[in-house]
Structure 1
Amino acid sequence: MFSRLCLAVWFVLHLSGCAVYQQPVDSSKKAYGHTTQLVLPEGVFETVAVESEHDIFTLDDVQKQQFLAFFYAAERQHVPSHKRLYEYLEASIEGFHYRGETYNARHAYHSNEGNCLSLAILTTSLAKLAGLEVEYQKVNAPPVYQRHGDLLTISSHVRTFVYQSDFESPDGSVVLRKPRMVIDYFPQRGNISGGQVTYHDFVSMYYQNLAAEAMVENENHTAYSLLKRAHTISPRNPETLNSLAVLHRRAGYENAALQIYRYAQQHSAGSVNLISNFATLLEKQGDKDGAANLRESIQHIEDDNPYQWLDIGEAHLSKGELRLATKYFSRAVENAPYLHEGHFGLAKAYLSLGKTGHAHKALKKAYELAAFTPEQHLYQAKLSILETRY
């Protein structure tokens, strides 16, 4: 956990692929009045051809025929439509191999591999062929960090719901939700359900991921073109705007990056990554007060991922900023009161503040929640030490 405290040192990008996305709002819509168009500086990057949204979800003819033959087979018509799709995925891509790369539907189907976003794209493609409704949900999981020179990528997780198309509610009954199947590539302990992800944000994730891969390879024109496409699809998506700003800053166009960050402040819901990177740039330019104000504002961002707040809490704790550390650990507890890590973070912050009673209460809660985990023995030992002082 302590190794994550240096996030602000590098340019931080968010990846969606096995790991979803940050905002449950639809970033393609205008929630702040009239949204002016982001004007990017000309002559910095060339625009190159990138994959269309249609192509992302298009399977080849053989792949379509294989699925439709299975889905419409007479012997399977007694199976509800959403379960038929699930069974096809289960049978045809058994042993789907996890890879960090993001693939379109054709590639994921053919190679039987990809990250969780790739599987969600393939699921969406099959659902479209069958006329089934899909939705996407953010899954909060311990993030995966990868450092590539001056870039630090943070992965998150998304899963897909496929709904039964031919469902009819019994007469006189009220049905709150149609039957559905969950397509989740990497379910594991510690995963916490998050907010809904809109279709526009889902598609923008694909381009964001490819852009991040291009940036790692210093293919800046490709990265720029992918991010422009993502921004067109979901104009208020904060992670797209963050990536655009990082791209310009890395290329030496800091004023352009500032312009993008200020646009994002006005026209997006913001994200922890975006505000952190913005603050780092202001600090580099000598605006320490502006950077400090931005870091204070992070606490007001709507993010239901407790692991995000745990990381920020640890970062402030390591720098002795105990008041902020307490706030962020409290946000983690607020979003996931059953995670022992948040209570342990609060215990450490309270103890450093000299609030022994509060620290004891938080540590005791962490101990209770950590049952049958390796951390429980650590908490027990610290409780014993603390109780000799308390």
Structure 2
Amino acid sequence: MKKPPIFCAIGITFILLTGCQSGNTLQNYYLGDIQASEFLDDKFIGYKDILIETDTEIFALSTEMKTMAKSISLERDARKKATKLLQHFFSPEDINLAYESGANVIAAQAFKNQAANCLSLTIMAYAIAQEAKLSVAFQRVDVPEYWVRNGRVNMLTGHINLTVLDEKSPDKRVLFQRTSIEIDFDPFVNKQPFEKHKINKNTVLAMFYNNKAATAMVNGDYVTAYAYLKKATKVDPLFSSAWGNLGILYRFNGYQQSAIDTYRYAISLNHNNLTTMANLSMLLHANGLYEEAKHLDSYIMRKRANNPYYYALLGNEKFYQGAYKEAMNHYKKAIKLNSNIHEFYFGLAKVYYMLDEVGKAKSYIKKAMAKNHLAQLDKQYLVKLTILNQKE
């Protein structure tokens, strides 16, 4: 049996994760007057010394960004401005921005590097659009739950983009051939009929700080993680994901009751925060609070039953544990629910490689490449395929 380092995870990271009742039953269960757990400042000594990016710093424009914005502002209407902005971003002859999952950086750094994660790229686009007098709004895209393992945790992804608004009617989207104009750094997501909801700038700032905290937590820097999560919850007190991650931080540091209280509060803010429900359920089971845990487990399973990414998560967990046959079954279940996701085929490729079935591993790498929509991932898959060819 092989060692696993040849295959590293491919995907997007956003927020941290560990790993029948009706919907109304769960909601009623958490509709009480639940208070947020008190902050544990005295447990994270030095958090005040952490330098946290300000709103101004995150959205600040470099000289080059201002030059681009000025050229865009010369266009007469919103549609032409948006088209020119998109050309700047995605044309191979221009800056040709690239996605980089771990790069959670301020707008100016994203522009300089010409690469960042979707949140930082969207912040950068917003800053340039505002400077160009192009009216835009942030949108949260309701993509299915999707996870990527990072060390001993899983990362739950999310997605946001920008929609272009009519300058004369700010609440009205600009339409082009019956569709609104959107600036989205994931072309595959943009083609899907996912629901979208406008979010304000404070929520985006909370997302940025939440991402910073997640990275710090994965790296074991809990003081920095606490500083960023406290900032996130102050900037947007209703942002459930930040409270959920704060619960994880408390659990990692042994403050179990504070973790339970914080998880419950996060769920009271968002009854669709299944990630925090799963984390809470695990902790409740560990502490003998089985009744509440069973309510959560039932609700979670009902919600996730038809989500292929959930079965991929189970596959990833079994793969991580070395249970390759079980992992294979989960990946195949995911493909049965949705046969167009490249990561599921990549999961099977990993499994077959570990089972010394190199031929099947190669076959599934090729299938992953056929389903993939991102050129830079194709290059990674090609490298893996080349290595597998050398194994035979």
Quick one: which of 169, 174, 180 aligns to 1:178? 174
Matched, 1:84 2:87: no
Q: Cα offset for 1:309? A: 5.5
Matched letter for residue 192 of structure 2: I
1:139-165, Cα deviation, whole Å (9 max, x unpaired): 5268351231x2221223333222342
Q: Cα offset for 1:37? A: 5.2
- Whether the 8 Å CA contact 1:159–1:185 is kept in 2: the answer is yes
Q: Cα offset for 1:167? A: 7.8
Alpha-carbon distance in 2 for matches of 1:282, 1:32:
19
Quick one: which of 221, 225, 228 aligns to 1:226? 228
- Whether the 8 Å CA contact 1:204–1:231 is kept in 2: the answer is yes
Alpha-carbon distance in 1 for matches of 2:145, 2:99:
20
Q: 1:128 to 1:246 in 2, by over 3 A?
A: same
- Whether the 8 Å CA contact 2:82–2:181 is kept in 1: the answer is yes
Q: Cα offset for 1:38? A: 4.4
SS in 1 for 2:181: strand
Q: Cα offset for 1:57? A: 1.0
CA RMSD between the two structures: 4.3
1:138 counterpart residue number: 141
Matched letter for residue 45 of structure 1: F
Alpha-carbon distance in 2 for matches of 1:282, 1:63:
52
SS in 2 for 1:239: helix
Percent pairwise identity: 20
Matched letter for residue 275 of structure 2: N
SS in 2 for 1:283: helix
2:192 counterpart residue number: 192
- Whether the 8 Å CA contact 1:136–1:158 is kept in 2: the answer is yes
2:288 counterpart residue number: 286
2:117 counterpart residue number: 115
Q: 1:121 to 1:257 in 2, by over 3 A?
A: same
SS in 1 for 2:220: coil
- Whether the 8 Å CA contact 1:137–1:193 is kept in 2: the answer is no
SS in 1 for 2:138: strand
Q: Cα offset for 1:312? A: 8.1
- Whether the 8 Å CA contact 1:141–1:190 is kept in 2: the answer is no
Alpha-carbon distance in 2 for matches of 1:261, 1:187:
34
Q: 1:176 to 1:233 in 2, by over 3 A?
A: closer
2:298 counterpart residue number: 296
Calculate the TM-score normalised by the size of structure 2: 0.63
- Whether the 8 Å CA contact 2:147–2:309 is kept in 1: the answer is no
Matched letter for residue 256 of structure 2: E
Alpha-carbon distance in 2 for matches of 1:121, 1:185:
11
Alpha-carbon distance in 1 for matches of 2:239, 2:165:
26
1:16 counterpart residue number: 14
SS in 1 for 2:159: strand
Alpha-carbon distance in 1 for matches of 2:219, 2:338:
37
Q: 1:127 to 1:306 in 2, by over 3 A?
A: farther
The equivalences for 1:1-390 within 5 A come to 15-16=13-14, 36=35, 38-46=37-45, 47-48=47-48, 49-60=51-62, 62-73=63-74, 76-77=75-76, 80-91=80-91, 92-131=94-133, 132-138=135-141, 140=143, 143-148=146-151, 150-165=152-167, 177-179=173-175, 180-188=180-188, 192-197=192-197, 198-199=199-200, 200-298=202-300, 306-307=307-308, 339=338
Q: Which runs of 5+ in 1 are unaligned?
A: 1-13, 18-30, 169-174, 316-331, 342-372, 375-390
Q: 1:260 to 1:139 in 2, by over 3 A?
A: closer
SS in 2 for 1:286: coil
SS in 2 for 1:243: helix
Q: Cα offset for 1:188? A: 2.7
SS in 1 for 2:154: strand
Alpha-carbon distance in 1 for matches of 2:191, 2:85:
24
Alpha-carbon distance in 2 for matches of 1:305, 1:71:
44
Q: Which runs of 5+ in 2 are unaligned?
A: 1-11, 16-29, 317-332, 341-369, 372-392
Q: Cα offset for 1:194? A: 2.8
Calculate the TM-score normalised by the size of structure 1: 0.63
